[in-house]
Amino acid sequence: ITGVDLHLAIADLVVSRVGNVWKLALATPFVLFLMTLPVPSATARSLALKPIFRSLIDSDTTAGIHMMLSLGVINRIGGRAYLSGGLAAILTVSVLDQYGYVLTWTDWLVHMWLPALLLVVLSTAGITLLYNDGVDALLDDSELATDPNVGFDEPFFDHDRTIVVTLLGFVIVAWIGSSFVGIPEFVPLLVLLSLAFFAPISVADERTLQGLNWNLLVFFGAALSLPPVLAETNIGEFLVQDVLGNILAPSLSFPAFLAGLLCILVLLRIVLIGATFVIIALPLVIQLAAATGHDPLVVTFVSLIAGSVVFFPIQTPATMVAFEGRYLTQRDTVLAGFAILVAALITTYVSVYLYWPLL
């Protein structure tokens, strides 16, 4: 995808059709949500849109902060909508399978697409309440550059991108079809990788390597070394089993239990970066659900919603990409984190009591 600049083509196509900076800011979370299926990597989506945004707006504008928060903290929510939306989703299904719960690609889509979209809507509303220039700003086109193109002047469907789009279309259809015929979800992905290996396309060159931000990669690599150390302290067992399971759960109603679960998982998400959160926290949550008589699938989906809440740039590569530069401060990401936390609570209750019972 990134090797043939498909992410840049999609981003440039969308941005070139928006003429107002605040319309673009409000549309950004939903553009990112729709980009999740063809571009599963949240980091790739951030890298695609950030240079375009930086060419359109100044760093000291409220709209600029809003857009970068969308890239950094709302961006990852789209990955919850699809089983193919990232490593966290794939690991979640793997953990569930170990406990005897099988979810197909379409099962995941049915259960998580609408909650993920609702979380995007509520998170966008919360951040807009914190960062806005008033209703009149929606009618002002003066802040947006007249030429939104930032160097991507090639045809959308050139030779390489046509091949990639065709392969992606094949694997998406195969994912949906595999849910009905019992084929494991990894089989279409293996076929895609095999076809991509033999396809006559170039996916990496010297320009790609030169464009990498090595400072950012080294910093995040150092951050990834922290979760294994923290895991040895048994912080997950302490918060999930001891605090929530043994102290709070026996005396809490189910709505209060959900709120407590969400908040504790958000705390864990701060210290357990990336896939470590799923690997360590999810088995504990499933065991807790079984011990307390709650539906393990429900608490698993709540855990995914909780994993969408981000407070600090170090928590995800996409957040660090957006944070790098002059647009955001630590205060901005923390405020946005609280806004998404409130949105996550609302999404949890709507999903648990109104949506998932209908399925």
- pLDDT value at residue 335: 92
Distances from the Cα of 316 to the Cα of 16, 127, 128, 311, 322, angstroms: 28, 19, 22, 10, 10
Q: How far apart are CA 94 and CA 116, in angstroms?
A: 20
pLDDT at 89: 78
> Does the pLDDT of residue 117 top 50, yes or no?
yes
Give a three-class secondary structure readout of 232-249. CCCHHHHHHHHHHHHHHH
pLDDT band at 11 (very low <50, low <70, confident <90, very high): low
Look at residue 112 in the predicted model and tell me its pLDDT: 92
Q: Are 319 and 330 in contact (CB under 8 A)?
A: no
- Taking only the tens place, the pLDDT of each residue in 32-64 is 898 888 777 777 778 777 777 776 666 567 888
In this prediction, residue 105 has a pLDDT band, given cuts at 50, 70 and 90, of confident
| Residues 15/52, Cβ–Cβ less than 8 Å | yes
- Over 80: is that where the pLDDT of 70 sits? yes
Mean pLDDT of 293-300: 85
- Cα 154 off chain centre by: 28
Evaluate if residue 307 carries a pLDDT over 50: yes
Kind plus residue range of the DSSP H or E element containing 86 = none
For residue 239, what pLDDT is reported?
Answer: 60
- Give the per-residue pLDDT at 137: 59
Mean pLDDT of 61-80: 86
pLDDT value of residue 83: 79
pLDDT of 353 reads 93
Has residue 148 got a pLDDT over 50? no
Has residue 296 got a pLDDT over 80? yes
Whether residue 175 contacts residue 105, with contact meaning beta carbons closer than 8 Å, is answered with yes
| Residue 150: pLDDT over 50 | no
CA distance 209 to 217: 12
String of DSSP letters for 291-340: HHT--HHHHHHHHHHHTT---SGGG-HHHHHHHSSSS--HHHHHHHHHHH
Least confident of 130-139, 186-195, 297-306: 186-195
pTM, whole model, 2 decimals?
Answer: 0.75
What whole-number percentage of the chain has pLDDT above 90?
A: 13
Give the three-state DSSP class for 302: helix
Residue 84 tokens read as 């193919």
Specify the amino acid at residue 162. T
pLDDT in tens, 213-261: 556 556 556 555 555 555 555 555 566 656 566 666 666 778 888 888 8
Specify whether the backbone of 5 is left (phi greater than 0), alpha (psi in -120 to 50) or beta. left
Nearest to 76 by CA among 110, 108, 119: 119
At 115 the pLDDT is: 95
CB 236 within 8 A of CB 283: no
